[in-house]
Structure formats: structure tokens, C-alpha cells
Amino acid sequence: MLREVARPVASSVRGACRNWRALIACFAVYLLWLLTLWMFFTIGEASFGQIALTFALMLVAPALFFLLQAMILDAAEGVTSWRMIGPTFRRWLKIGGTMALVSLPLIICAALTFFVLDKLDARFRTANTATASERREDGVDNSNTDRESGTSSARSVESKVTRKHINWPLVLLGALRYLLLGLVLPLAIVHLWIASARADGGLRTTIKNVGRILRRAFATRAVIIYLLGLLIFVAAPHLIIVTPTRVENNWIELALVGMRLALALALVFVGWVLTLHALTTASAEESTIIMAGR
């Protein structure tokens, strides 16, 4: 299994290094997408022009996102032609549009999942707060009784009242949220993208083979590759950003914060590109095996 996982990962690294023009183009679109997001969240809404720009950015940001995914997967398939940039760009737009359409049901499913889990989380937290308040009141009543009778000290009562209790429903809800929104739905969406980006893909073919695509998405090798990718484009950037660097000079500290942020964003890009390349290679190998078996 380790060899089966290492083969597509190594192939993705070699492919990304060999196709450096596509990597630079994807990174440029990635920076443009980040700039669009920054403008969307920082622009004011005081004038008509600012409101119009906000709505325009709401359309441009998703378009750039799906264009970026189309460029990455097109490069992973090895069909990018820089000598015929016009047809290549039109193919990227077509693939990006197909990706957006096949992603829409799962995006709605993710939003509903988040809404339901958030409601359940709020309900359990409210119940937990009410239970804690009742325990605190019971502890205060018991402490008053114990002071009158002289059977126990206030310190022992306080330690019993402040003892922490694990709320297992909240723990299970948190684990379910990370499992569904961090693993299951992203893997399904990525494999739908991969199927859409292939030469024989397209919206109709992807919908027709959706069952087989989803089974391939949750194969052991695909899950391991995605989890390894999470370490690069999620875990490592998070550690880089949250790790404090204390320097007496404010300018040096500001420069270090900027360097950490730039490194984290670069790791997100590199990790995501390598993950998509590796999953594309693994999916192509499984398709070849299935066709050979037939």
C-alpha cells in the first residue's frame, strides 16, 4: 500500500517540476484569486460603485477559483498546450464551468450539513450550560449545608463543583463535522472535478458515472493521499501562522509575520497542486486497471 501511495505522489512532484510553465500560470491565477478575496472582504459599501464592485467580486472570485482548478487538473492530465493558448483557455473555461455544475449539489449538501450540525451544536451547548448551572446551584446549596453542619470544607465543595465534565455529544458532533466537511465531501468533489477534466469527460459523462466516481473517491489509496495532502496545505500553514515569533523590534516582527503569511499561502498552493496531481494519477491508474480487466 505504501508503494501504491508513493508512486502517484512522486509522479505528481515530477510532473509539477517538469511542467513549470503551467505551475507559474496557476500560481499567478492563485494570487489573483487571493487579491479578489482580499478586496471582497475589505472593500466598503458606502457608495453605489463600491456595492457594484462587491457584487462583481462575488462573481469573479468563484470564477477564478474554478478556473484555477481547471488549469491544475489540465496540467495534471498533461494536455496543456502553450502554443495554442486560445483553444487551451477555452478548454479551461469549459472545464471550470463543468466543475462548478457538478460541485453545486455537493456544495448545497455541505451547506445543509454545516447548518444542521451547527444547530445541533448550539442545542447541546445550551443543554450543557443549563446542566452546569444546576450543578453549580446544587453545589452552592450543599456548601451552605456543609458549613452549617461542619462536615466538610468549602474548598472540597468548590473542587467538586468546578470539576470538568466531557460532553460527548459535542465531541462526536465535532468529529462528524471534520469527517464530513474536511474529508468526505472534499474527496467527492475533487474526484468529480477529475472526471470532468478528462478528455472523455464532460457534464453528461460525469453524471452518468457518478456512482463509480464516488466509489473511487473513497478508495484507501485516495484517502491516504488526501490525508497526506492535508498535512501540507492545511496543517503546516496553520502551524506556521499560529506559531508566535517574539522580537523586540516591531518592524522586524512585522516582517516576520509577513514572511510567515507568505510561506503559509505558498504551502497551501504547493500542497493543493501536488494533492490534485497525485489524485489524478491514482484515478488514471485505477481507470486503466478497470479497462484492462474488461
DSSP output for the chain: -HHHHHHHHHHHHHHHHHTHHHHHHHHHHHHHHHHHHHHHHH---SSHHHHHHHHHHHHHHHHHHHHHHHHHHHHHHT---STTHHHHHHHHHHHHHHHHHHHHHHHHHHHHHHHHHHHHHHHHHHHHHHHHHHHHHHHHHHHHHHHHHTSS-HHHHHHHHT-----HHHHHHHHHHHHIIIIIHHHHHHHHHHHHHSTT--HHHHHHTHHHHHHHHTSHHHHHHHHHHHIIIIIHHHHHHHS----SSHHHHHHHHHHHHHHHHHHHHHHHHHHHHHHHHHHHHHHHHHHHH-
* Contact status, residue 102 vs residue 207, Cβ threshold 8 Å: yes
Q: How far is CA 294 from CA 217, 287, 288, 291, in A?
A: 21, 11, 10, 5
Q: Which amino acid is at 187?
A: L
Q: How far is CA 124 from CA 133, 137, 164, in A?
A: 14, 20, 16
Over its length of 294 residues, how does the chain's per-residue pLDDT go in tens digits?
A: 677 778 787 877 787 778 888 889 999 999 999 999 999 989 876 688 888 899 999 999 999 999 999 999 988 877 666 667 788 888 889 999 999 999 999 999 999 999 999 998 888 888 766 665 665 555 555 555 555 555 455 445 444 444 456 778 888 988 999 999 999 999 999 999 998 887 656 778 888 888 888 888 898 899 999 999 999 999 999 999 998 878 888 888 889 989 999 999 999 999 999 999 999 988 887 766 555 555
Question: What is the model's pTM?
Answer: 0.82
Grid coordinates 465531501 are at which residue?
185
* pLDDT tens sequence across 110-146: 999 999 999 988 888 887 666 656 655 555 555 555 5
Residues 6+ apart with CB under 8 A from 37: 61
Specify the pLDDT at position 238. Answer: 94
* Contact status, residue 81 vs residue 87, Cβ threshold 8 Å: yes
| 47 φ/ψ angles, rounded to the nearest 5 degrees | -120, 170
Grid coordinates 497526506 are at which residue?
228
| CA gap 202, 91 in Å, rounded | 11
